[in-house]
Chain A
């Protein structure tokens, strides 16, 4: 059991209008640095806010509390995060994480 997680290579994708919060770039190749506690989706959300989000004042268009804003769908390797424990899901190397907005006009 390896509690101490090594750095992880993942892709984060923002579609259906969400990309406008990320410089109109949909697909981001991300390296998550080595940390003491394992990377969860919850931690990734905060990391995205600090490192990928362009306009920090528009943060509430992406996050609400410790999760995504209602109306945003999250999938890990084409699987619904609701089936994976939502924010508690533990990220693995090469995960492809997709954020899809169902808000109208983005």
Chain B
């Protein structure tokens, strides 16, 4: 899948610790430097901000993906990257005519306080921030977005929805899987919001550092074939090519340090945005291990992140017949022969993870075949082991690991189950008519 030839692999740049530091700004050559990038490039405050803004605009403009007047969902989580993104977008909207950003931004904040402990008044502070910018915005509850179609107005069943969401994570004990599931649900929520708000583009705030961690984590999680979707420009909705939903990551060429200093120099306040790995140790999850690995390397070799990132970009999807996972919309490796490594690890992980449950499941499988006629078509009955098996069939390797932990599929957002049952119907139909096809 991935091949990096001699020319493709960029060599690591080693540090020369004894070289005297050039303290003047490399751009204006007169001001004293405020920040040093890659251990060698010194910038003063005045030259640094336009440099970051330029990179943002170049990435956004490179793709020519956003049309004039197009509604664009701008996702703000409160993190430093996201408040910087908001500031960059706002600045772009204020500029003189020929440089001005011309799309129509819709800001969203998804409140995850049901899962994580946030400081009091955080939601109010976010609201104040959005009011200050004067752009149109929505603040929505995570569970409402996932389970209600009325999330923009009022969710009358919020308690029930909150419980569903909490249930999902109660059933997953492994931190790696928990975090992976959170990422997929966040993505699901964002996609749903974009559709509800009639946006055709989504802008998210991941920087180069975050994306390179995601890249390596994805490989470790068995999401190697989904790298393109998770770090590049992503087309989320392939059902309607005319109005396809495209995710754009305009901070992807900016380092974490560049973002931090952009926020510092502009005095941008950031807000706590936790995940399941917040303040956890490195050895508890694949994602944190990866992060530590990259950060430690970065100390000695400042080009680590960009090397990983540029290498990852060269990985392209080469699946000829594509099937997409019902949960994450990622590409499924279906072309593999049955005896492949993927199958083998799947089997061994399955047995060791599930133990008794696996045995029960496979016994159930035999039962199912006998009671096939009694089963209703394509619907998802409560606590139905059949429907779980049917969902698993249409999930990618990594999502299967997550869903296996769930007690009941009822806690999943309806759209995921609906999409899956549509897929099953289609597969059944295909099966029935395949003899008539040449």
Give the B-binding residues of A (Cβ under 8 A).
15-17, 19-21, 24, 58, 60-61, 69-71, 73, 75, 78-80, 82-83, 98, 100, 102-106
Contacts and interface: CB of A to CB of B under 8 A. Distances in A.
B80 interface: yes
Contacts of B35: 75, 79-80, 83
Nearest to B214: A104
B273 A78 contact: no
Given A80-B35, A83-B36, A102 B260 contact: yes
Contact of A105 (B34, B36, B119, B278): B278
Nearest to A102: B256
Nearest to B207: A102
B364 interface: no
Interface of B: 21, 23, 33-36, 39, 42, 45, 79-80, 119, 209-210, 213, 256-257, 259-261, 263-265, 270, 272-279, 281, 287, 291-292, 295-296, 298-299
Between B80, B210, B213, the greatest number of chain A beta carbons within 10 A of the residue's beta carbon is seen for B80
B278 A106 contact: yes
Contact of B210 (A16, A82, A83, A104): A104
Given A80-B33, A83-B36, A102-B209, A17 B260 contact: no
B160 to A, nearest CB: 27
A80 B299 contact: no
17 contacts: A15-B263, A16-B80, A16-B260, A16-B263, A20-B272, A20-B274, A24-B119, A71-B291, A71-B295, A73-B257, A79-B35, A80-B35, A80-B36, A82-B39, A83-B42, A102-B259, A102-B260
Contacts of A75: 35, 261, 264
Given A71-B295, A79-B34, 11 more contacts: A17-B79, A17-B278, A20-B278, A70-B292, A73-B257, A78-B264, A79-B35, A80-B34, A80-B261, A83-B33, A102-B209
Contacts of A70: 292, 295-296, 298-299
B278 A82 contact: no
Nearest to A13: B264
Contact of A20 (B39, B80, B263, B279): B279
Contacts of A104: 210, 213, 275, 277, 287, 291
Between B35, B274, B287, the greatest number of chain A beta carbons within 10 A of the residue's beta carbon is seen for B35
B133 to A, nearest CB: 20
